[in-house]
């Protein structure tokens, strides 16, 4: 039975699809988990892997394959090498840019890439390695004294960095500091009153997760591609979801800064 180029490309596509499903699982559940997937590079990673894995190899096979063609084995070997190199590079890039930690600092949650986590230094890597959650969660302990906090903010600004990258001040986000975070939760109704879109977003959130808005602490979340609200359940402090909210009001005032 003669193998046509379309059948050869289909076989190649099927083999690639198996690997693609594995990579997609890793991206969705480990490297860019919800509720950060869309806001922090998940779709960009999917597009890259799709192009390299599902499109590049099968398309080249479709172009060059012809039953009985002299040097066909050499051509297919070359295609396999090219796709493997491209796939390894693309997978490494997606993995290296994964969400390595989500850190709370000064009233806001921030996502950190692997590179940013290493740049933070201090206790950041240790906390990430010992965490039991995906992604790990960190907490930046600022000075208790208001003047010292303002001094630290100014120093980090002059150094061209931010307080959420001060790894020497990192702590795991846990019971000892979780209440401080929940206390900063903002009133979602203030956001909802800004626009009908915000109101609908809040209603969809409550429809999915139940309860009332006051059952959740809503805090600003800064990702690479979007700025959202991160919702934590007040009863246990667990991250529930994120909301696409626009025209947000000013951040809640830290009582210690008053």
pLDDT score at 107: 92
Between 191 and 249, the higher pLDDT residue: 191
For 75, counting Cβ atoms within 10 Å of its Cβ (0-12 exposed, 13-18 middle, 19+ buried), the class is middle
pLDDT above 60 for 257: no
Sign, CA torsion 166/169/170/175 = negative
Reported in sequence order, the residue ranges of 97-176 that DSSP labels E, i.e. its strands, are: 99-105, 108-113, 137-140, 170-172
Each residue of 35-62: b (16+ CB within 10 Å) or e?
Answer: bbbbbbbbebbbebbeebbbebbbbbbe
Query: What confidence tier does 258 reach under pLDDT thresholds 50, 70, 90?
Result: very low
In 3D space, the residue among 235, 244, 106, 247 whose CA is nearest the CA of residue 165 turns out to be: 106
| Close Cβ partners of 135 (under 8 Å, ≥ 6 residues apart) | 33, 36, 99, 100, 101, 102, 111
Res. 246: pLDDT tops 80: no
Residues whose CB falls within 8 Å of the CB of residue 108, separated by 6 or more in sequence, listed in order: 164, 219, 220, 221, 222, 251
Q: How many residues does the chain have?
A: 258
Taking only the tens place, the pLDDT of each residue in 201-244 is 999 999 999 999 999 999 999 999 999 999 999 999 999 999 99
Please report which confidence band the pLDDT of residue 75 belongs to, taking 50, 70 and 90 as the band edges. Answer: confident
pLDDT of 36 over the 70 cut: yes
Tens-place pLDDT, residues 115-159: 999 999 999 999 999 999 999 999 999 998 999 999 999 999 998
User: Is 28:42 a contact under the CB 8 Å cutoff?
Assistant: yes
Q: Could you tell me if 183 and 239 are in contact, meaning their C-beta atoms sit under 8 angstroms apart?
A: no
CA 193 to chain centroid, in Å, comes to 28
Cβ–Cβ < 8 Å for 120, 156: no
């Amino acid at each position: 039975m003669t193998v046509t180029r379309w059948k050869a490309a289909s076989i190649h596509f099927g083999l690639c699809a198996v690997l693609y499903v594995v990579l997609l699982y890793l991206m969705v559940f480990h490297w860019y988990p919800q509720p950060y997937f869309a806001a922090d590079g998940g779709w960009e990673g999917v597009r890259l892997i799709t192009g390299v894995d599902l499109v590049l190899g099968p398309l080249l096979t479709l172009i060059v394959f012809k039953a009985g063609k002299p040097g066909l084995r050499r051509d297919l070997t070359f295609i396999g090498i090219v796709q493997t190199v491209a796939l390894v590079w693309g997978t490494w890039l997606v993995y290296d840019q994964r969400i390595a930690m989500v850190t709370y600092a000064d009233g806001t949650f921030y996502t950190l890439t692997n590179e940013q986590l290493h740049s933070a230094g201090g206790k950041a890597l240790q906390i990430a390695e010992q965490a039991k959650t995906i992604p790990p969660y960190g907490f930046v302990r600022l000075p208790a004294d208001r003047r010292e906090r303002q001094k630290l903010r100014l120093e980090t600004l002059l150094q061209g960095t931010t307080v959420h990258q001060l790894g020497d001040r990192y702590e795991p986000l846990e019971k000892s500091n979780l209440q401080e975070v929940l206390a900063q939760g903002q009133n979602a109704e203030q956001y909802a009153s800004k626009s009908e879109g915000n109101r609908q977003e809040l209603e969809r959130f409550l429809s999915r997760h139940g309860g009332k808005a006051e059952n959740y602490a809503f805090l600003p979340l800064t990702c690479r591609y979007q700025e959202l609200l991160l919702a934590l359940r007040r009863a246990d402090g667990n991250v529930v979801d994120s909301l696409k909210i626009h025209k947000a009001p000013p951040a809640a005032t830290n009582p210690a800064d008053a």
